[in-house]
Amino acid sequence: MGFASRSRKLTPERTLCAGPQTRARGTPRGLIALRPHIAEGLAQLVQTCRRHQVDIAVLSSGDQLTARAFAHRAHIDLLEQDNALHAIRARQKEGALVAFVSDHIGSSAAFSACDLAIGLTDDRFRIPARADLLAPDLPAITAIIEATARREATVRDSVGLSLVANILGLAWGIRGLPGIEAATRAVYITSLTAIADGWWRLRGGERKAATLPRLIDPRPERWGSRSIEQTLERLHTSEQGLSHQQASERQRQTSTSAGRNPLLSALLHQMRSPLTGILAAGAGLALLFGAAGDVVIISSTILVNVAVGIWQERKADRVAEALARLGNPRARIIRDKQEITLPTSELVCGDLLLLAAGDRVAADARLIEAHNLEVDEATLTGESFPVPKAPDAAQEANRIVLEGSDVTTGNGRAIVVAIGQQTRMGATRAALVQDEDQPDPLSVRLSRLLRIFLPISVVGGASVIISGLLWGRPLLTILATGATISLAAVPEGLPLLSMVGEAGVARRLAERKSLVRHLSAIEALGRVTVACADKTGTMTEGRLQLSLLATLDEQALPFQHTQSVSSKGGRHIEGALLPSPATPTNSSLEYTPSSRLPAEMSHILLTAALASPHPDAPDAGIHPTDRAVVQGALAAGLGKQIHLQHEEELSFDPSRSFHATLTHGRVCIKGAPEVVLNHCSQVMRHGQKQPLDEAGKQAWLVRSQQLAQWGLRLLMVAEGPPNTALDHPEGLTALGFVGITDPLRTMVRTAVQRCQAAGIRVLMITGDHPSTAHSIADEAGLLAEGGEVITAAQLAQLTNGELDQRLEHAVVIARATPLDKLRIIESLQRSGHTVAMTGDGVNDAPALRLANVGVAMGSGSTEVARQTADVVIADDNFSTLVEAFVEGRSFWRNLRRALGLLLGGNLGELGLVVGASLLGLAMPLTASQILAVNAITDIFPALAVALQPPEHRNLAGLRREGAGALDTRLFKEVIRRGLATALPSLAAYLISLGRDLLPQARAVAFTSIVTTQLAQTLASGRTEDGQLTSSVKWAVLGSLGVLATAFTVAPLRNLLHLAVPTPLGWVLIAGSTLLSVLLNRLLVSSAQAQISPEDQGADTQGSPELAKA
């Protein structure tokens, strides 16, 4: 019996009713009624309970009519009471075992009384009551019930088998005392049967462990909501920091965990792999029949897998090492009122941390003092621009500094509020060390193929032995042939084939500046349906660049477009074009000489550069914004002018929000528009100074807001007379704006279009403001087909089911944290998507680890991102990732064709021997000849097909076959190739056996079974334009050379018991080879004729289930 309280898990939306709204005279205007939304997974839970005869009921609470309606819609019995304790005890008195499910604190008493207490909780809702089991959602409850039912069935079967064993023992005892050995057989047989039955009933049912519930965002921004006094009181510290004694008492206990043995870990992982288990079974079978060659091949394959596992373990350890190195190894703090420097591992909460330009922040800390402090958080949040920090900043996040961020300018003091795993960087570390033991789909499919073909080979060998005995063949000969053909049909080369194919793709990608760190990512590249791209450093260049000069009614770009773009929405100014937000561009940009700019624009740029640190000053390159302005002026040919001496200078201060200098008889100022405008009384218009009133200032502010929608950081430029006070300037003249942006990478727009045409959706995830994200997405072409731009705050309010639906229409996620990215990727994977995630910062590392394919943008990426990623794009070109998708899709096509050749050839050999045996004919091949056929036809032709390069580079023209390529389509192809190999070879053998001696007939069968397979290899190795690839050509020529050697070298010919075929035999060989090609094409045409036009249309759109070879 199961009870459930009607909680937010069953009804995520609270029932709300709005009463009648009245006019002034009291007449009703309407009624609004909202009904509860049934949670995802409830229907499956109800079906599972009914299937296993488990009663399920819901307790009524609140409005009875609403409760009855809900129970009716959910098909659940309603208990007309809201006291869970009474309901549980009533059913227990009837002899029922009661499980109770709830998610709120009022369930404590019911949890204590029931037989099984299940608490519903996830990363957003915590249950304070004690429970026997915790489940994240209703599907988890379903899994619990399913597992319980399977366990009960297993116990029942075990008891029954035990009774059978006892009855058999009793029967033997009545008939007479059996020997000890005979008496134990019944026990052994039933015990093994019980073990097998338990494995069969309890197999499967795994639910992928969610990464996000195991990770909790420490949310250090919450400390920004507290005042400095509240923070000091909460941490029991002061503005002078801690004493050494206090720090010693708070020193966190560091426990050293035993390091993992990489060899042991790899061995255990391989032992758990079903593929290795099946291969080991095949090796045992080969050893039993004395096939030493197959034992060596299979054992070598297992050893290679172990070696790869050790390699992967070492690379996983390097990720944690790189992340540890990212933190500042030492920190400056105040202890006992004295400044000291100590390792970051010795920091404790409450320490007073000192910050200065060039420092890396050693812990999450609450600012208590700051002077001109700006911090680069790009690696943590993806924000391109340095973030001003102050104890009393408007936003709570700007009162906090985060571990791993860099101080770009200014200085400050902060109280440490979190260290180690409690920091945001610590949460990132936790995400990277999560053990993921999920087999990739390719290994699963290959294991399934082995499980299918291993019984087929055993049945084929048994058929040969049984039919041979029935036809009176010699026992030893029949046993040897049957065992050999069984082993020959086992595709032990499957793992080697996939690994070599992936290695070939990795080699080709390396030539295109893509480093594949994990070979298993190759197959996932061919299945990708959603590419999640980080904005900073992936879609954009990850550096600031001067992008705009503007006045109130004109604007210019200080560079020219090297590609043609539409001028719609922009205005030409002497060759310079400003595109509107609705007109995205993808042009490579080059600065033009200042002569190409109007004098007014050139004056704005020069003044902005002079209102920056002198190019020769030690701190000239510290602030990215100043660096972008100065570099822009230098590239525009203003180098001589900006080297004028600064007579007086006032550096940028976030509290002042502008930078001021006195140079060459005037004051130059640049800063925040709303601040600089307050100090302006005039405006420069077309070379003339005009008065600036409040209405004019408002117009300038509106203009700045419009330009900011393009994702720019805007700075206003103004000038004043030389007697202007730098700290309190008045009477300034407004000149215009300079716009700074992180520019879109070249070819990103083209790459996005290629992905969209191929059915791959590009989803941009960024920590930036929504307006900035919208601008970049528009420029990249992500909004060309519509789609939502939503924030992480909006996603946080959604249940998993609602999130899954919302993400199907989203193209941009703004204000996302590292843990938000994890939840987004998990949601996409839950919806059946194969996800590629690109990034370059520490904040991207957990998502890179979780995604099916993690891609790091190489040259500008952090070491953590590179170590975590599956693929590293060395040239930072987003279009290179598209080329990786091309290679991934081509890999699946080649693998399917190669497996078709390998498995089809083995099936053909099995069909030839079994067919001749069933017809009562002499064996067409001896044991040594069967092994020789495998050596000639199995590995090298299939490898040659697997190593073929893509037929073309058009991603949309390559089908996304994915794991479905190894299911029904492959089986049909294997059967087709098996028939095309076995039937012509068997026919040639029959005709030759009727006209020639047995040795010549066997030579015909031997040669035919080889040439029919090689002929089909040639057909599979051709491109769409009919060209034969070099790898296939050389593989076939090499195999033919080995075949010729078998007939021409006498010792080898005698070892294989081969006779030279007669002229008729050579004719039969040629005829069977030609017939195999024709038969294969006939079967292909017949299969294609059965495909409906609708299926063909869906096939060309990248559906994972394809019908055409």
Structure tokens, 341? 């420097």
**396 burial type by CB count under 10 A (0-12 exposed, 13-18 middle, 19+ buried):** middle
Beta strand 732-741 with 56-59: parallel, antiparallel or unpaired? Answer: unpaired
Catalytic residue among 351, 364, 534, 768: 534
Angle subtended by helix axes 599-610 and 624-635, to nearest 10: 140
Beta strand 853-857 with 871-873: parallel, antiparallel or unpaired? Answer: parallel
**620 burial type by CB count under 10 A (0-12 exposed, 13-18 middle, 19+ buried):** middle
**1010 burial type by CB count under 10 A (0-12 exposed, 13-18 middle, 19+ buried):** buried
Whole-angstrom Cα distance, residue 16 to residue 803?
22
Angle at CA of residue 492, ends 488 and 498, nearest 5°: 135
Angle subtended by helix axes 274-288 and 292-326, to nearest 10: 160
For residue 1012, which of 909, 914, 922 has the smallest C-alpha distance?
909
| Percentages (nearest 5) of helix, strand, coil residues in the chain | 50, 15, 30
How many other CB atoms sit within 10 Å of the CB of residue 634? 16
Whole-angstrom Cα distance, residue 825 to residue 847?
7
Provide the H-helix boundaries in 385-493. Answer: 424-432, 441-470, 475-489
Whole-angstrom Cα distance, residue 269 to residue 262?
10
Residue type, 1023: T
Structure tokens, 952? 């073309």
Angle at CA of residue 542, ends 751 and 808, nearest 5°: 50
Find out whether 709 and 581 touch, Cβ atoms under 8 Å: yes
The 3 state secondary structure assigned to 808-868 is: CCEEEEECCCHHHHHHHHHHHHHCCCCEEEEECCHHHHHHHHHCCEEEEECCCCCHHHHHH
Residue type, 280: A
Structure tokens, 34? 């909202």
CA dihedral 437, 443, 445, 448 (to 10 degrees): -90
Angle at CA of residue 84, ends 80 and 90, nearest 5°: 80
For residue 654, which of 672, 641, 668 has the smallest C-alpha distance?
672
Q: What is the DSSP letter of 330?
A: E
Beta strand 761-765 with 530-534: parallel, antiparallel or unpaired? Answer: parallel
Find out whether 529 and 758 touch, Cβ atoms under 8 Å: no
Whole-angstrom Cα distance, residue 1091 to residue 1094?
8
Whole-angstrom Cα distance, residue 128 to residue 311?
43
> DSSP letters of 97-113?
--EEEE-SGGGHHHHHH
Angle at CA of residue 966, ends 961 and 970, nearest 5°: 100
Find out whether 534 and 841 touch, Cβ atoms under 8 Å: yes
Q: In the annotation, is 1099 catalytic?
A: no
Structure tokens, 1069? 């060989």
Residue type, 686: H
- Catalytic residue IDs: 534
